[in-house]
């Protein structure tokens, strides 16, 4: 039980920190790309104007209209930068990846909720019955989570549920196998 709770806490913390780092790094990368684009706009505005014209030509505007639009956009540096960032880089400068802290908190919570299923039976059972109940609770949770993804994917409930169940049990099998190799056993 203590090992399970420690694993739950360690895993949730690891997932939260990884999510925080991922969102923060993405935001920093976007900010750097925007800064680079701003520098280019300041140093070589004619090249940026040409890039904008080419972007709009690629979207189907005739060359003369694309050049006129690019010239109009470049006249206002703020509008030009916003447009270049959106059109050239594909970045929405108003949304640079959300809150790293919110992502970390959500990741922590979701991992902890998912990890409680295999741990919960050990609060009331011991030995082999706890192991069997843990496997059953884990299997049910995995299947239901997979089935729930059909709300977003439109795929079949059985397909998604079984896929999640098989992948989850495969991951658990690898973890169990590594434990066996290094001499760790689940005793209940």
User: What are the residue ranges spanned by the domains of the chain?
Assistant: 1-117, 124-188
State the average pLDDT for the chain. 92
DSSP 75: T
Tell me the HSE value of 126 on the side-chain side, using a 13 A CA sphere: 1
Q: What is the pTM of this model?
A: 0.69
Instruction: Give pLDDT tens digits for 88-119.
Output: 998 998 888 789 999 999 999 999 998 999 99
Instruction: Give pLDDT tens digits for 11-24.
Output: 999 999 999 999 99
pLDDT (average), residues 46-63: 94
- Percent of the chain scored above 90 by pLDDT? 80
């Amino acid at each position: 039980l203590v090992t399970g709770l420690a694993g739950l806490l360690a895993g949730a913390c690891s997932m939260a920190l990884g999510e925080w780092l991922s969102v923060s790094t993405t935001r920093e990368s976007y900010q750097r790309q925007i800064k680079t684009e701003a520098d280019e706009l300041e140093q070589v505005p004619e090249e940026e104007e040409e890039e904008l014209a080419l972007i709009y030509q690629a979207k189907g505007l005739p060359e003369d209209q694309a050049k006129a639009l690019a010239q109009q956009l470049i006249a206002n540096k703020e509008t030009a930068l916003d447009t270049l960032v959106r059109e050239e880089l594909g970045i929405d400068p108003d949304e640079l990846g959300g809150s790293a802290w919110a992502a970390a908190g959500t990741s922590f919570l979701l991992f902890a909720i998912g990890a409680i299923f295999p741990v919960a039976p050990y609060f009331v059972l011991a030995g082999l019955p706890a192991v069997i109940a843990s496997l059953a609770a884990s299997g049910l949770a995995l299947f239901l989570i997979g089935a729930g993804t059909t709300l977003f994917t439109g795929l079949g409930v059985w397909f998604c549920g079984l896929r999640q169940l098989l992948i989850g049990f495969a991951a658990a099998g690898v973890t169990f196998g590594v434990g066996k190799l290094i001499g760790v056993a689940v005793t209940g």
